Structure 1
Amino acid sequence: MTDRTGALLIHGLGGTQFDLGPLHKVLQRAGVETHAVTLPGHGTQPEDLVSVRAEDWLDTVVASYRELAPQYDTFHVLGMCMGSLLALALCERVQHSKGKLVTLAPPIFIDGWSTPWYRGLRHLVYWIPGLPARMKVEEDEPFGIKNSTVRAIVKAKFARGDNFHYRWVPLACVRQVDRLRRQVQANAHKITCPTLVVHAREDELTSLKSAEFLRGTLTDVRVVVLENSYHMICVDNDREQVINSVLEFFGYPPAPARRMRGA
Structure 2
Amino acid sequence: MHLLLLHGFTSHPVLTLGPLPEVLREAGFAVAQPTLPGHGTRPEDLLKVRWQDWLKKAEEAYLALPEPRGVVGLSMGALLAAHLAAVHPTVALVALAPAFALQNPLAPLAPYLAWLIPLFPGPNSIEDPLLKRQNPNYPYFPTRAVGELLGLMRGTPKVLPQVRAPALVVEAGRDRVVKGEDRYYALLGSREKRHLVFPESGHDLLLDRNRHAVAEAVRDWLIATSNRLH
State if a TM-score over 0.5 links the two structures. Answer: yes
- Residue matched to 1:109: 101
Q: Over the residues paired in the alignment, what is the CA RMSD in angstroms?
A: 1.8
- Residue matched to 1:100: 92
Listed one character per residue, the Cα deviations across residues 98-146 of structure 1 (whole Å, up to 9, x for unaligned) are x2010101010112xxx2x4444335437xxxx38x7111115xx3111
> For 1:81, which of 75, 78, 91 is the aligned residue?
75
How many residues align? The count is 221
> For 2:14, which of 12, 17, 42 is the aligned residue?
17
Find the aligned partners of 1:167 and 1:104 in 2 and give their Cα distance.
Answer: 21
**Residue correspondence of structure 1 range 50-65 to structure 2 within 5 A:** 50-65=47-62
> Which structure has the larger Rg over C-alpha atoms?
1
- Residue matched to 1:137: 120
Find the aligned partners of 2:47 and 2:133 in 1 and give their Cα distance.
Answer: 29
Q: Which amino acid aligns with 1:57?
A: W
TM-score (norm: length of structure 2): 0.89
Q: Is the 8 A contact 2:160 2:189 kept in 1?
A: no
Q: Is the 8 A contact 2:95 2:169 kept in 1?
A: yes
Listed one character per residue, the Cα deviations across residues 61-114 of structure 1 (whole Å, up to 9, x for unaligned) are 11111111xx23x221001111111111121232x33x2010101010112xxx
**Residue correspondence of structure 1 range 160-199 to structure 2 within 5 A:** 164-199=136-171
Listed one character per residue, the Cα deviations across residues 197-237 of structure 1 (whole Å, up to 9, x for unaligned) are 10112100113xx2211221113321101110111100112
| 1:212 equivalent in alignment to 2:182 | yes
Between the aligned residues of both structures, percent identity stands at: 29
| 1:90 equivalent in alignment to 2:78 | no
> For 2:223, which of 231, 251, 254 is the aligned residue?
251
Find the aligned partners of 2:197 and 2:152 in 1 and give their Cα distance.
Answer: 24
Q: Runs ≥4 in structure 1, deviation > 4 angstroms?
A: none
Find the aligned partners of 1:9 and 1:86 in 2 and give their Cα distance.
Answer: 10
TM-score (norm: length of structure 1): 0.78
TM-superposed CA distance for 1:247, in Å, is 1.3
Find the aligned partners of 2:147 and 2:87 in 1 and give their Cα distance.
Answer: 21
| 1:146 equivalent in alignment to 2:127 | yes
Q: Which amino acid aligns with 1:151?
A: K
Residues 204 and 31 of structure 1: CA distance in aligned 2, closer, same or farther (over 3 Å): same
Find the aligned partners of 1:202 and 1:45 in 2 and give their Cα distance.
Answer: 28
- Residue matched to 2:174: 202
TM-superposed CA distance for 1:59, in Å, is 0.5
Residues 31-40 or 10-19, more deviating: 10-19
Residues 119 and 14 of structure 1: CA distance in aligned 2, closer, same or farther (over 3 Å): closer
User: Unaligned stretches of 5+ in structure 1?
Assistant: 155-163, 253-263
Q: Is the 8 A contact 2:110 2:144 kept in 1?
A: no
| 1:37 equivalent in alignment to 2:34 | yes
Find the aligned partners of 1:79 and 1:152 in 2 and give their Cα distance.
Answer: 24
Find the aligned partners of 2:85 and 2:144 in 1 and give their Cα distance.
Answer: 25
> Does the residue aligned with 1:151 lie in a helix, a strand or coil?
helix
TM-superposed CA distance for 1:23, in Å, is 0.7
TM-superposed CA distance for 1:17, in Å, is 1.3
> Does the residue aligned with 1:225 lie in a helix, a strand or coil?
strand
Residues 121 and 172 of structure 1: CA distance in aligned 2, closer, same or farther (over 3 Å): closer
Find the aligned partners of 1:235 and 1:165 in 2 and give their Cα distance.
Answer: 11
| 1:7 equivalent in alignment to 2:12 | no
Find the aligned partners of 2:112 and 2:137 in 1 and give their Cα distance.
Answer: 27
